[in-house]
Structure 1
């Protein structure tokens, strides 16, 4: 099955448990339609670059999935209909990276950039 990565942004006035409940809800939607969630991360409340629906912050969640396209389309459809979800981004990838995402790594653990001149 194809591999996907999803980023969900939920409203800022949700509690942490409600935001993590959204992750579980969309994980069950994927599993009910023949897919599976390989890994999920809750990134917490982050400030956005611009307002979305009059919100400056949002709860960010990251999902790595192995699912057929029909399951992904159903999850995206339900996410767009859900009142608490502001944005969904889905990317098809060739392989999942091992370990935590760049958002969860500490700054000193990340790859060093080249120096500017």
Structure 2
């Protein structure tokens, strides 16, 4: 199963009960198809970047879930036909999580190599480099 984030914007004039019912309905679609809902965040009403269907603001809802591709298609279809939803966006985040984990392991490996390396010899000053090893630097 892959991990997805679904962010959708609900009309600002929708009641709290309508929004909760929509969240319950969409979570039911995921669980019925064998997926798992990891997190549901209601961000509240926010101003939109641009006008959408004569609305300047909307209520944002973020759902993070694990599911297969056909479940995501059904989820998006139901959002598309729902009158309360203004806009929605689905993002697959499991690839990003894998990439972040890989970078973290690489950093830890590099840090452990640096820590285990012996301390380097002190570097000669610029004057010593210019004069050479046989001539002492003036004091």
Superposed, which structure 2 residues align to 1:54-69 within 5 Å? 54-69=54-69
Structure 1 residue runs of 5 or longer lacking an equivalent are 97-117
Question: Are 1:45 and 2:67 an aligned pair?
Answer: no
CA shift, 1:17, in A, is: 2.6
Structure 1 consecutive aligned stretches of length 4 or more whose deviation exceeds 4 Å: none
Equivalent residue, structure 1, for 2:78: 78
CA shift, 1:18, in A, is: 1.7
Structure 2 residue runs of 5 or longer lacking an equivalent are 99-139
Q: Structure 1 length as normaliser, TM-score?
A: 0.78
The structure whose residues are more often strand, as a share, is 1
Equivalent residue, structure 2, for 1:36: 36
Report SS of the residue matched to 2:34. coil
Equivalent residue, structure 2, for 1:112: none
Structure 1 contact 20–42 (Cα < 8 Å) conserved: no
Report SS of the residue matched to 2:83. coil
Q: RMSD of aligned C-alpha atoms?
A: 1.3
The structure whose residues are more often helix, as a share, is 2
Ranked by relative contact order (alpha carbons within 8 Å, sequence separation 6 or more), the top structure is 1
Greater C-alpha Rg: 2
Q: Structure 2 length as normaliser, TM-score?
A: 0.66
Aligned residues: 96
Deviates more, 1:37-46 or 1:18-27: 18-27
Structure 1 contact 41–61 (Cα < 8 Å) conserved: yes
Equivalent residue, structure 2, for 1:90: 90
